[in-house]
A and B are shown apart, each in its own frame.
Chain A
């Protein structure tokens, strides 16, 4: 990265991954296709996961630690310390590409939350500085952080979170000055402000439903083995855990933004799109805006159509179906995010650790990480990287198809259970094949 910090609307990090080979993309798509219909043909015919009974209680020791006040406090302190550090680097640091706040914002926070939530459960909920501030206010005023002035309207659901997620991906992928300090600072300030006002108005339920990062992190944590049955900490299979995702308005919008934006990120790097943009008389900025919106809306529409194109019983309204099935897209998102961001997370995330020792760009070495070598093993093993990518995408697809199948046999009337799944299955195959195509073409 240039020493003068000029990155020219280029996003963080230098080189991008090589495209995967066509053979690998085709093999991945074929495997996804075969497995999809196999699941449909041979999987169980009666619902298998029940949130009220599934899972075993976590080992007593783990439960004791996780439920202890010290554990909660420790993670609040860790989250708040990183928050204060990032705020310090953002406010007092130099506007250079080596300012660690950029990597903390785009890599640690946005991408890092996914593997952390997958391994450890709802991580952002535990460390969220906005929850901590809200709890601090509540303590000072002697009120209850769970309660706000108003009841959070149920119809609002996750819609605000989907808007917040879109605002993030817009900044990262479309806004030309995304790697300058000013815009990142402004975005974060707006995020914190909205979160604090929301928390004051509606209490902690606002964070659960409307904080884009908490919604994202908690959604991914449904694929972890850690779950709750009532208040009890349980260990579940990821599929059984995923099935417990609460169905709320706007859930489809959340998954559509997550998948659509990642696909757009692949697409935006492709030579075809770059050539089209640069030869067009329309402003490339406008084209990028339209394309990002188009990808998100397109994913949402394809998915919704795939969900509603089924026969129904009397107990279910057609408009409720997309949110009923939205959780089944989560494994596909996680698989595709792993494929798309793995090398970025590991390599630029590592680089951020190196930069973290020098928040004011004056050559200091606060944490002793400044002289660590770059980590580039994945980039130097592009074939291994490509194999991991395709396996992640196919694995995500398999889990997604099974999750959708379970939901179909639970809520659809018996005579529509198999045929009703078909349109959704085609939508999922389209997402997976499309994702593989983008990994191949970009």
Chain B
């Protein structure tokens, strides 16, 4: 009786897990529009500040920057990307990232995460 119970419970939970386990999807074909994110630097603050943004593999990300001082942005992809912007308005482009993962886009000068790109 106990054994039957145990086996039933184990099978049930294994089944729950198995149905939730997905399979890897093939990458979506390119040609998607660039994701545009408005970024505002003001003093020692930046907006957005640590938000998640979902992008597709290989999709370009354009940062439309309004800044009160020039600075540098680091994209912690592999390989890393470094982007410079000027005072006033600048648009910089993050090259499409092919490897799935969560990539921090940081302001080098403020030591703050602007967005986390969820590449999938």
Query: Which residues of A are interface residues toward B (Cβ below 8 A)?
Result: 1-2, 6, 8-10, 14-19, 21, 23-24, 26-28, 30-31, 34-35, 38, 41-42, 269, 271, 274-275, 277-279, 374, 376, 379-384, 386-387, 390-391, 394
Contact = CB atoms under 8 A, between A and B. Distances in A.
Contacts of A394: 13, 17
Contacts of B111: 8-9
Please classify how large the interface on chain B is, using the bins under 10, 10 to 19, 20 to 34, 35 or more: 35 or more
Contact of A6 (B10, B19, B101, B108): B108
Given A6-B108, A17-B102, A275-B50, A383 B24 contact: yes
A270 to B, nearest CB: 9
Contact of A383 (B23, B51, B78): B23
A382 to B, nearest CB: 5
Given A1-B78, A15-B119, A17-B101, A27 B20 contact: yes
A19 B118 contact: yes
Nearest to B9: A38
Interface string B1-32: 01101100110111011011111110000000
Given A16-B102, A18-B102, A38 B5 contact: yes
A15 B74 contact: no
Contact of A380 (B6, B74, B99, B118): B99
A390 B22 CA distance: 12
B101 A274 contact: no
Interface of B: 2-3, 5-6, 9-10, 12-14, 16-17, 19-25, 49-52, 74, 76-80, 82, 97, 99-104, 106, 108, 111-113, 116, 118-120
Contact of B50 (A9, A27, A278): A278
Contact of B116 (A8, A274, A382, A391): A274
A23 B20 contact: yes
Given A17-B101, A19-B118, 19 more contacts: A1-B79, A2-B80, A8-B111, A10-B76, A15-B76, A15-B77, A15-B101, A15-B103, A16-B104, A17-B102, A18-B102, A19-B102, A28-B20, A30-B16, A31-B16, A41-B2, A383-B25, A386-B22, A391-B17
A35 B9 CA distance: 7
B13 A34 contact: yes
Nearest to A35: B13
9 contacts: A1-B80, A14-B79, A17-B102, A18-B100, A24-B20, A27-B20, A30-B13, A278-B49, A383-B22
Contacts of A269: 102
Given A10-B76, A14-B77, A42-B6, A278 B112 contact: yes
Nearest to B80: A2
B80 A14 contact: yes
A272 to B, nearest CB: 8
Nearest to A351: B78
